[in-house]
Amino acid sequence: MRQYSETDPVDFAIVGTGAGGGTLACRLAEHGFSVVAFDAGAWWRPLEEFASDEQHQQKLYWTDERICDGENPLTLGSNNSGKAVGGSTVHFAMVSLRFRPEWFKARSKLGYGADWPLDWREMWRYYTDVEQALKISGPVTYPWGPPRPRYPYRPHEVNAAGLVLARGCEALGLPWSPTPLATLSAPRGLAHPCVYRGFCTIGCSTNAKQSALVTWIPRAVRAGAEIRDLAMVGRIDTDASGLCTGVHYLREGQWRFQSARNVVVAGYAIETPRLLLMSASNRFPHGLANRSGLVGRNLMVQTNQAVWGRFDEEIRWYKGPPSLALTEHWNYQDTGKDFFGGYAYMSQGPLPQQWAATQSSNHGLWGEALIRDMEGYIHQAGLKIVGEVLPQEQNRVTLADEKDQYGLPIARVTFSLCDNDKRLVRHAIRHMTEVMLAAGGHDLWHEDDDTAHLNGTVKMGDDSRTSVVNADCRSWDVRNLWVCDGSVFPTVGGVNPSLTIQAIACRTADRIRALAASGDL
């Protein structure tokens, strides 16, 4: 790996190496820029260092303290926060879906949320690039949305947990599909196909999962980027002219400084606004890039409620990727809804600790009741939504008084569902209950308190008064400061965000190359 001096400015210092930062580091390096990408987490070698063990693999998560409040305080950590080179893609469920085209103009076309400054047709091209880069396995024809090219690899066999979804949907006359997944269904280079071990969300130990760690990061290094792991960036410096000069980071117990011509923040929707707010100065008293006052605001998650049930057959849902089948019916169907937005739902395969946590925290079971219910583990199946929430300015990330182990103020995360979000959830639970019954499930119960993913907080837009960055992910206020991760989403849609984050990162890299060529960088 090439290594850069701290004192000679690199073209780009990127903070975070997940779906946003890892992808951008790769594409910028391939475009010929000098890049140093920082991650607070470790650079794991999955083949040697990943155990098949939920407890041990907590090492992949961002488990530093954060304070959660609001009417619906969020669950973070293992739920949605990664701390590793490759970010949350090291433990994501690999679900790789495109946005519905209309969502990029949600305000004008569907009457809610905000319009994106991006055109869906351009995004469609970048989605194709990312699907190729990750060798997504998916069906020959996808039932929803405008035509898309064939997925590069064939779909995976659907496990019994997925066949429950299929059986229920077919009984009700609804379309379903094998889920497009970022895990190999055929060999690729030195990696063999997915062996269906089912530990995907605690880290793939065979490298079949096409995370940033095994795709963009190695490409970035080959193209000349440097990855600096175990390096916590605590502050972005700006000079008298209001431009970024580099980043302060803690590594091996010492605060150090990397000089850079441009800084990209890609820490996901909590760490990104936290770093911008922590970089306040006399010139930027409310934090960097925050003239609009919107940094940290419009935090969005996705609702993640479920209907669970028991089946007479053995399901053994721990085998295979957790979400092998899905339907996007309610993302594309606009009638019969009493809410704005959409949701997808997918089959599930929680491992024992996660299932027990669901049974205790959400179902309220403990004692003999819990132990007896857990004994039905191999007969259990369920459906879980990825549901759209509306952007609300009062849902936000701020800095708390409490400090973390680095001496930095920890994030306070405030979140409340609005009435529309709650109506969506009620609709989904009603609907999924029908599907589970049609599939032959019994002893159904619904989990009504879970969320997934983190988006918003550094809104993208075409007006500096109502957004933080422009369509190129460039700050309106500081022209050599960029934000490239799920933070920039103006709305969140009803699909998992990782494919869209990577598509935006690829687009941003191309835009930066074009801006550099025209002397506008």
Partner 1 sequence: MRDRFPGYDVLNKRGSPSWNEVTRQVIDARLAMPREPCFFTEDEWLTLTAVCNRIVPQPASRPPIPVAAMIDHKMANDLTDGYRDHRLPKMQDAWRRGLHALDQETMTRHGGRFHGISATEQDALLTRMQQGELSGAAWGTMPCRLFFSSRVLHDSVAAYYAHPTAWNEIGFGGPASPRGYVRLAFDRRDPWEAAEAKPGEDAAVERKNRDVG
Binding footprint of partner 1 on the chain (CB under 8 A): 48-56, 58, 61-69, 73-78, 81, 157-160, 163, 194-199, 205-206, 313-316, 318-320, 351-353, 355-357, 359-361, 364, 366-368, 370-372, 374-375, 377-378, 412-413
Report the C-alpha gap between 92 and 386 in whole angstroms: 14
DSSP 66-77: -EEESSSPPP-G
Q: Which two tokens stand for residue 250?
A: 């803690």
Report the C-alpha gap between 494 and 454 in whole angstroms: 13
Q: Which is nearer to partner 1, 67 or 521 (CB)?
A: 67
Q: Which is nearer to partner 1, 65 or 334 (CB)?
A: 65
Q: Which of 241, 187, 511, 201 is nearest to 350 (CA)?
A: 201
Cβ atoms of residues 166 and 347 within 8 Å: no
Distances (CA, A) of 12 to 85, 195, 244, 264: 17, 38, 11, 7
Distances (CA, A) of 519 to 310, 477, 516: 62, 19, 5
Cβ atoms of residues 220 and 209 within 8 Å: no
Q: What is the dihedral of CA 323, 391, 117, 328, to 10 degrees?
A: 30
Q: Which is nearer to partner 1, 166 or 473 (CB)?
A: 166
Q: Which is nearer to partner 1, 67 or 429 (CB)?
A: 67
Is beta strand 10-15 parallel, antiparallel or unpaired with respect to 254-265? parallel
CB of 80 to partner 1, least distance (A): 9
CB of 62 to partner 1, least distance (A): 5
CB of 310 to partner 1, least distance (A): 13
Q: Which of 299, 339, 52, 357 is nearest to 198 (CA)?
A: 52
Q: Which of 112, 62, 32, 49 is nearest to 418 (CA)?
A: 112
Q: Which is nearer to partner 1, 130 or 346 (CB)?
A: 346
One-letter amino acid at 8 equals D
SS3 233: strand
Q: Which is nearer to partner 1, 195 or 514 (CB)?
A: 195
Q: Which two tokens stand for residue 314?
A: 């053995």
Q: Which two tokens stand for residue 331?
A: 């993302």
Q: Which is nearer to partner 1, 72 or 470 (CB)?
A: 72
CB of 104 to partner 1, least distance (A): 31
Report the C-alpha gap between 265 and 201 in whole angstroms: 25
Report the C-alpha gap between 351 and 58 in whole angstroms: 13
Q: Which is nearer to partner 1, 315 or 460 (CB)?
A: 315
Distances (CA, A) of 375 to 360, 427, 509: 14, 30, 51
Distances (CA, A) of 408 to 76, 333, 401: 19, 46, 9
Q: Which is nearer to partner 1, 83 or 459 (CB)?
A: 83
Q: Which is nearer to partner 1, 81 or 137 (CB)?
A: 81
CB of 440 to partner 1, least distance (A): 10
CA torsion sign, 84 to 476 to 256 to 67? Answer: negative
Q: Which is nearer to partner 1, 158 or 499 (CB)?
A: 158
